[in-house]
Copies of this chain bind each other. A is one copy, B any other.
Amino acid sequence: MERRDSQESTTLTKREFLRGFASVSGLSAVMAALDAWDMSIASAATAPPVLDGRADGTRVLILGAGIAGLTTAYELTERGYDCRIIEARSFAGGRCQTARNGFRLEEVGGESQECEFDEGQWFNTAAWRIPAHHKSLFHYCREFGIPMQTLISSNESTYLRYENIEGPLVGRRVRRREVMMDMRGYTSELLAKLAHQGALDGELTADDREQLIEYLVAEGYLDPIDLAYRGTTERGWAVDFAGPLEPGQPSEALALRELLQSGLGNTFRAVSSFERPYTMLQPVGGMDRIAAAFEERVGHLVTYNAEVRELRQNGQEVQVHYRDVPSGDLVTATGDYCVTTIPLAIMRDIPNDLSDRCKAAIGAATPSQVGKLALQMNRRFWEEDDAIFGGSSQTDLSGGSVIYPSHGFLGRKGIVQGYYVFGDTSDTVGAMGLAQRTERGLANGEKLHPGQFRSHYDGKSISVDWQRVPHSLGGWESWSDEARREHFPVLLEPQGRVYFAGAYLSYLTGWQAGAIESAWYQVERLHANAASV
C-alpha cells in the first residue's frame, strides 16, 4: 500500500481543500501543503548489506512476519543466526496481502468476511503497485524468481464525471484524454498567440520565441497558420468508422470556458507522479506472491497465531510473552536480540521496559486511515464496451474512484475496486457494514458506467478498513517532518537488545521497499553488535 491515493483521484478534493485553505492561510500555506503532498522520493538501496563473518546460534526473536520481519529473518539466517518469528496472524506477509477465494478478513467491532471470488480472481487488499525505482523490493523478486507484470496506474482513456462543479460539464461523463488534450490545446493556443504578438519579447530572443511557438504548435495540435486549437482526432472520435467506406466522425473539442468553469483540468499534472507513474509493477497472481516466496524460505521459523503481550529484556536476553491464540496459553520466548516490526499503533499498547524517549517516539507516528472495496463483475464491460484496460475513473464523491484490473485482460469476469477512501471519509465508510459499503461503491460506479456497473456486479464483494484490522490498526504510519526529525534517531538506535524495523522507519513510509530497507539497516547494526559481543 502506498501513502495516498492516486494523484488523479484526490486532486479535485485537494484543489477544494487548498481553495479553502488559501482563504484562511494565504498562498504560501497552499504552497507548503502542495509540497508536502506531492513529495516523491527514491532510494539508492539496491542490495542487502554485506555482512562479514557469521553469528551462528545467536538467537533473534523477530516480532511480525510482514515484509520487514521476513526480510530480517531471511538475511540473518544466511549469516547463521537462529531466528524465530512471532506472528499474530495465521499467515505471513502482513499488509502484503491478497484476497482470493476463502480468504478471511476480520475487523475490530465489524463483521467477519470470507472472500467468495471465483477461482483465479484476486484483489490486493493493501500493497498493490510498485514503482520502477523500488530496487530493494526488486532484489527479492529477482532472487526468488517472482513473475512480474505491469500495473497500469493511470490511463488517459478513463472517465471523469463530477457533479459538484459549475457549468455545462456538471454530471457529464468525459474521458480524461479529452479534458487533458483540450486544456493543453487551449493553453498552448493562448501562449502561442501572445508570444506571436510580442508579449514575451522582453524575455525571449526572436529565435527562442519561434522555438517556443513551434513547441506549442506540436504540443497543442495548433493550426500553424493562425495558432488556433480546434481539436484533434487524438482526443478521440465522436463516431467510429463503420467499414472501409464509412470513415466516422472526429470529436469536437470542449469549449475553454466550460472547461475552466468545471475545474476538471485541475485534476492533471504536467507529468505523472514520480512515485506513481502511468505504469508500475505488480506480481503476477497477487501481491502475496512476494510473501509466499519469503514464506517458502523462512516460513518454518514462524510461530503463527501468536499475539505479543509483553516485551522485556535484561542485560543478557530478551523475553517476549505471547498469547497462543488457539490454546489461549501465555507463552514465553527468549532470544539474545529482538527485532520488532510490529506496527507502532499496536506496539504502543504492549507493556515493555523501553525508555520514555522510545515510548514517546512510538506514540508519535500517526496511523493512516484508508479503506478499499473490491467487487466481482460478471463481465468486463469496461474493456468490452469502453476500451479501458487498467487505470481508474473518478467521480467527485470522496474516494469515489473505480480502479480497473491490470491483469486478466479480455477474460470473462474481473475484480474492480469500488472505492479508495482516506482520512475522515475512511472513518465514515469504515463504520458501515459490508452491505452498505458495497452499496456506496455500486451507486458511485453506476455514475461512471450507467446501466452496467450495478447490473454486472455478481454479488461478491470484500472490503477492508485498515484502521479496524486487528494487528495493523492502520494502513501505514506517517510522520510530520518535525516528528520524523525528533523520533527517527531514537528508533533507529538499538534499545538495549531491541531493534525497531518497518516501513515507518524509512523515507518510504507505507511501501514494501521501505520495510525492506529498514530491515537491511537494522540487520547491519545488529550484526555489528552481535559480532562484537
Instruction: Report which A residues bind B (CB closer than 8 A).
Output: 11, 15, 19, 22, 27-28, 30-31, 34, 38-46, 132-133, 135, 138, 141-142, 146, 148-150, 152, 155-157, 177, 180-181, 183-185, 187-188, 190-191, 194-195, 199-200, 203-204, 207-208, 211-212, 214-216, 218-221, 223-225, 232-237, 239-245, 247-248, 256-257, 260-261, 263, 265-266, 268-274, 277-279, 281, 383-384, 387-390, 406-407, 409-410, 488-489, 492, 505-507, 517-518, 521
Contacts and interface: CB of A to CB of B under 8 A. Distances in A.
A277 B177 CA distance: 10
A388 B244 contact: no
A212 to B, nearest CB: 6
Contact of A200 (B177, B190, B221, B243): B190
- Which 6 pairs from chain A and chain B are nearest by CB? A184-B270, A150-B150, A44-B240, A211-B260, A132-B387, A148-B409
Given A133-B387, A266-B214, A521-B243, A271 B410 contact: no
Given A261-B211, A263-B211, A274 B38 contact: no
Contacts of A223: 31
Given A149-B150, A224-B31, A269 B234 contact: yes
A15 B218 contact: yes
Nearest to A247: B507
A265 B150 contact: no
B279 A279 contact: yes
B269 A219 contact: yes
A394 to B, nearest CB: 15
Q: Count identical subunits in the complex.
A: 2
Given A248-B42, A271-B235, A279-B279, A260 B212 contact: yes
Nearest to A504: B244
B38 A388 contact: no
Contacts of A281: 389, 409
A279 B185 CA distance: 22
B234 A38 contact: yes
B141 A260 contact: no
A208 B259 CA distance: 10
A184, A243, A492 — most chain B CB neighbours (10 Å): A243
Contacts of A218: 11, 15, 266, 268-269
A403 to B, nearest CB: 15
A38 B407 CA distance: 30
